[in-house]
Structure 1
Amino acid sequence: MKRNDLLFMIEQAVKAPSGHNTQPWLFRLLENEDKVELYPNADKELKVVDTDRRELFISLGCAVENLSLAASSKGYSLDVSITEDGVITVQFTFSDSVKEHALFKQIGERQTNRSVYNGSVLKESLIYSLQEIGKVDNANVYMWLNGSPEFCVIADYVLRGNEIQMKSKEFKKELSDWIRYNRSHTLQTRDGLSYEAFGAPDFPRWMSELIMKSFLNPFMQNKGDKKKIQSSSHFILFTTRNDSVVDWINLGRTLERFLLELTSRGIAYAFLNQPCEVKPLSVGMARSLLLEKEYPAILIRIGYGKKMPYSLRKPIDDVLI
C-alpha cells in the first residue's frame, strides 16, 4: 500500500468534527500490513465538559468514517476493529470493484455552522429521506420539528444546561483555553474555537478576550442560544443503547455520515450538547422524551444559513506517531 495513499486518507480523516475542535486523535501507520491504528490523544481531553470521554470517542468514530470514505476514492475497502479501551485498527483491502462513495467530496465542505439560521423549515420529504440514512447497531437518531412539544422540551434542557455550565469556573476556564481570539492566535495553534466561527471581528487578542469572556455567563449564553434555536428547523438527537466506548465510536461513524449528508443537501447544523453533557439533565431529558432505555449522546440543530469560515486543522505530522 502506498504511503501517499495512507497520508491522503488521514488528511481527510482529521477533517472530522471534535469537541472545541481539539482534534483528539493520533494515527500510527503500518504500511507493510496495509493498516492504520487510531488512538485517543490524552493531551486533548476535555476533562470538565467531557468527563467520560464520550464526545472524544465519538469524534474518533467520525474520523474513521472519513477514513472509510477517503479509502473508497482510492479503491480500498476497510475492516474496522475496536478494543474496549478505544484503540481502533483499520485494515485496508484493495479491489477494482470499490468505487468512490458519493459522500467523499463532502468531507472538505462540511462545517459546524454556529450562526443564526434563516428560519426556513425543511420539507417533510427531506426529513423522511434523512431518516433513511443507515445507522449502526445500538444507535438511534430522532428528529423533532421546531414548535413540537419535544422540540420545546429539548430547548428548555439546553437553556438549563447553559445555566449549569456557565456558572462553573472550571467549565469556563476549559472553554476559554480553547477559544482562539484572533487571526494570529488561530494560525498559531490551528485548532480550537476560532473567533471567526463565532462571527467575531479580528481585534487585538487582549481586546477580544475581554469582549468574548464577557459573554461567558448564563444570561448572554441563553440569549444567544434562544435566537439560534428559534431560527432552526429541527432538533436531531443521537442516542446509544449502551454507554460504552465501542458504541460511542460506532455512533461517531453514523454521525459523520449524517453530517455529510446534510452538507450535500445544503443544510446547516450546529451542536447543542449541553443537556447531553450534564448527567442529571441527560437522564431527565431521556425520561421526558420517553427514551429512558437510551443514552443521549449528541444533539444538533439544523436549518438553512450562510456559510461560515472553516476551522483549521493541525499538520498531518502532528497527529502521526
Structure 2
Amino acid sequence: MASRLEEKTVAGLVADAVAAPSMHNAQPWRFRFLTGERLVQLYADPERAMPHSDPDNRALHIGCGAALFNLRVAAAHADLVPEAHLLPEPHDPLLLAALHLAAPAGRPREDELARLHPAIRQRHTSRHPFADKDVPEDVRTTLQDAAAQEGAELHFPGAWHAETVLDLVRDAESRDVMAPGANEDLLRWTRLGPEADTAVDGVPEYAFGPRKRDGKAPVRDFAGRRQVADRGTITFERTPHLALLSTPGDSPADWMRAGQALERVLLEATLADLATSLTSHALENRELRLLARDPGSGTGQVQMVLRLGYGPRGPATPRRPVRDVLESV
C-alpha cells in the first residue's frame, strides 16, 4: 500500500514538473521513478530535440533543468526533501539528473521552495504587449537573488546593451528567412486549426498572441507567413524590459543550472504579478550568443533573454499526460 501511495505522489510531482517551459513547448523530458530508492531520474528525450535550432541540445537541457526545478518545488510542497544531483552517470548522457525524495524527519524543510508552488500553474508565456510601466527595483533584486541561488546571474541591460540584444534578435529573424530549413523545427512544433485543440505538445495557434504592428518587443511570430484566424495586429512596447540570464560556463551542467535558475526567476516573477516571455532566438548561434554578453564585464554565457512586464499572462499551453512521460520500476 505504501508503495502505491508513493507512486501516486510521484505522479503528482511530475505533473507539476512538466508545467515547465521548453523551447517550442517540445517537452523534451522523460522521468523514471525507482520505487525502492525513492529516486526520480530525469532523462532527455532525443526524439524531441531540434537539430536545426538547437544542434548542441543546449535549449533541451535548459528545458529539462526548468522541469527539474519544478519537481524540487513540488517535492518541497509535499513535505519531502528534494536532493538533486546533476548528470549523475557520465556514461549515460541522456540521464540529466537524479532527485532523491528524502523523508522530512530530521531534515530542514525547504520552505523557500514550497513557497513558489502556487506559481507553477499560474506561470504562462505571454506573447502580448506589456504596459509601459517600470519593474520596481525591489522586484528586480528579488529576481536577481533567485537566479543567484541556482548558480546563475540575472542582468538587466542598460539602454545601449538592450538595443544591441534587440538587434541580435532581428538579425536572427532575418537569418531564418534566408537560411534553407531554418524554420523546420518551428513548423514541426506549431499547431494550427483543429490540431490546436487536441495537441498535447507544441505551440497552439491560440498561444501565438497578436501580430506585432509596431514596437521593439522581442516576440517570436510562430505563424510566420501562415494565416491564423481571428488574429489581430497591435502595437507592442517600444522599450521592453529585458533581463539576461547567464552562467559562468557553457557546459551541459551549466545549461541544467540555467534551466533551474530560469524557472526560479519565472516563478518569483509570477508571484510578483509580472507577465513573462522568453526568447533564445538570438542565442541559437554561439557567435551571436557571445555578442549578447554584458559589455561591461564581458564574462559569462548568456543562456536566455527574458521579457518582463505588466500585462496578460497568456493562455496555458498543452502538456503530455503524466502516463506518457513517467515510468515506475
Q: Which category describes the TM-score, using the shorter chain as reference length?
A: 0.7 to 0.9
Q: Which residue of 1 aligns with 2:312?
A: 306
> Of the candidates 83, 89, 99, which is equivalent to residue 98 of structure 2?
89
Instruction: Indicate if the aligned counterparts of 2:52 and 2:181 stay in contact, CA closer than 8 A.
Output: yes
Instruction: Indicate if the aligned counterparts of 2:132 and 2:237 stay in contact, CA closer than 8 A.
Output: no
> Of the candidates 188, 192, 197, which is equivalent to residue 207 of structure 2?
197
Q: Give the counterpart letter for 2:323 in structure 1.
A: D
Give, in whole Å, the separation in 1 of the partners of 2:140 and 2:77.
28
Provide closer, same or farther for how the CA distance between residues 113 and 312 of structure 1 changes in structure 2, counting only shifts above 3 A: same
Provide closer, same or farther for how the CA distance between residues 301 and 140 of structure 1 changes in structure 2, counting only shifts above 3 A: same
Give, in whole Å, the separation in 2 of the partners of 1:30 and 1:196.
38
Residue segments in structure 2 that go unaligned for 5+ positions in a row: 212-221, 228-232
Q: Give the counterpart letter for 2:153 in structure 1.
A: N
SS in 2 for 1:158: helix
Instruction: Indicate if the aligned counterparts of 2:208 and 2:223 stay in contact, CA closer than 8 A.
Output: no
Q: Does 1:156 align with 2:163?
A: no
Provide closer, same or farther for how the CA distance between residues 141 and 212 of structure 1 changes in structure 2, counting only shifts above 3 A: closer
Instruction: Indicate if the aligned counterparts of 1:273 and 1:299 stay in contact, CA closer than 8 A.
Output: yes
Q: Does 1:236 align with 2:249?
A: no
Q: RMSD of the alignment, in Å? A: 2.4
Provide closer, same or farther for how the CA distance between residues 137 and 265 of structure 1 changes in structure 2, counting only shifts above 3 A: closer
Which aligned pairs between 1:56-135 and structure 2 lie closer than 5 A? 56-83=60-87, 84=90, 85=93, 87=95, 88-95=97-104, 98=109, 101-135=114-148
Identity %: 25
Provide closer, same or farther for how the CA distance between residues 27 and 137 of structure 1 changes in structure 2, counting only shifts above 3 A: closer
Give, in whole Å, the separation in 2 of the partners of 1:189 and 1:281.
33
Give, in whole Å, the separation in 1 of the partners of 2:13 and 2:125.
21
Which aligned pairs between 1:216-227 and structure 2 lie closer than 5 A? none
> Of the candidates 9, 13, 19, which is equivalent to residue 9 of structure 1?
13
Q: Which residue of 1 aligns with 2:185?
A: 174
Deviations 1:29-60 (A, max 9, x none): 11111011110000000111111111110111
Provide closer, same or farther for how the CA distance between residues 132 and 281 of structure 1 changes in structure 2, counting only shifts above 3 A: same
Provide closer, same or farther for how the CA distance between residues 167 and 105 of structure 1 changes in structure 2, counting only shifts above 3 A: same
Q: Which residue of 2 aligns with 1:221?
A: none
Provide closer, same or farther for how the CA distance between residues 274 and 129 of structure 1 changes in structure 2, counting only shifts above 3 A: same
Q: State the Cα distance separating 1:187 from its structure 2 match.
A: 3.5
Q: Does 1:32 align with 2:31?
A: no
> Of the candidates 311, 315, 325, which is equivalent to residue 319 of structure 1?
325
Q: Give the counterpart letter for 1:47 in structure 2.
A: P
Give, in whole Å, the separation in 2 of the partners of 1:257 and 1:137.
8
Q: Does 1:266 align with 2:273?
A: yes
Instruction: Indicate if the aligned counterparts of 1:117 and 1:231 stay in contact, CA closer than 8 A.
Output: no
Q: Which stretches of structure 1, 4 residues or longer, exceed 4 Å deviation after superposition?
A: none
Instruction: Indicate if the aligned counterparts of 2:131 and 2:237 stay in contact, CA closer than 8 A.
Output: no
Q: Which residue of 1 aligns with 2:291?
A: 284
TM-score by length of 2: 0.84
Q: Give the counterpart letter for 1:141 in structure 2.
A: L
Q: Which residue of 2 aligns with 1:251?
A: 258
Instruction: Indicate if the aligned counterparts of 1:197 and 1:311 stay in contact, CA closer than 8 A.
Output: yes
> Of the candidates 139, 154, 166, which is equivalent to residue 152 of structure 2?
139
SS in 2 for 1:170: coil
Give, in whole Å, the separation in 1 of the partners of 2:145 and 2:272.
14
Give 1 or 2: higher helix fraction. Answer: 1
Q: Give the counterpart letter for 1:180 in structure 2.
A: R
Q: Give the counterpart letter for 2:269 in structure 1.
A: L
Provide closer, same or farther for how the CA distance between residues 114 and 131 of structure 1 changes in structure 2, counting only shifts above 3 A: same
SS in 1 for 2:313: coil
Q: How many residue pairs get matched?
A: 299
> Of the candidates 285, 298, 301, which is equivalent to residue 295 of structure 1?
301
TM-score by length of 1: 0.86
Instruction: Indicate if the aligned counterparts of 2:274 and 2:308 stay in contact, CA closer than 8 A.
Output: yes
Instruction: Indicate if the aligned counterparts of 2:24 and 2:202 stay in contact, CA closer than 8 A.
Output: yes
Q: Larger deviation: 10-19 or 76-85?
A: 76-85
Provide closer, same or farther for how the CA distance between residues 273 and 251 of structure 1 changes in structure 2, counting only shifts above 3 A: same
Give, in whole Å, the separation in 2 of the partners of 1:31 and 1:69.
20
Instruction: Indicate if the aligned counterparts of 1:268 and 1:305 stay in contact, CA closer than 8 A.
Output: yes
Give, in whole Å, the separation in 2 of the partners of 1:47 and 1:242.
22
Q: Give the counterpart letter for 1:193 in structure 2.
A: V
Q: State the Cα distance separating 1:304 from its structure 2 match.
A: 1.0
Instruction: Indicate if the aligned counterparts of 2:147 and 2:262 stay in contact, CA closer than 8 A.
Output: no
Provide closer, same or farther for how the CA distance between residues 247 and 99 of structure 1 changes in structure 2, counting only shifts above 3 A: closer
Q: Give the counterpart letter for 1:56 in structure 2.
A: L
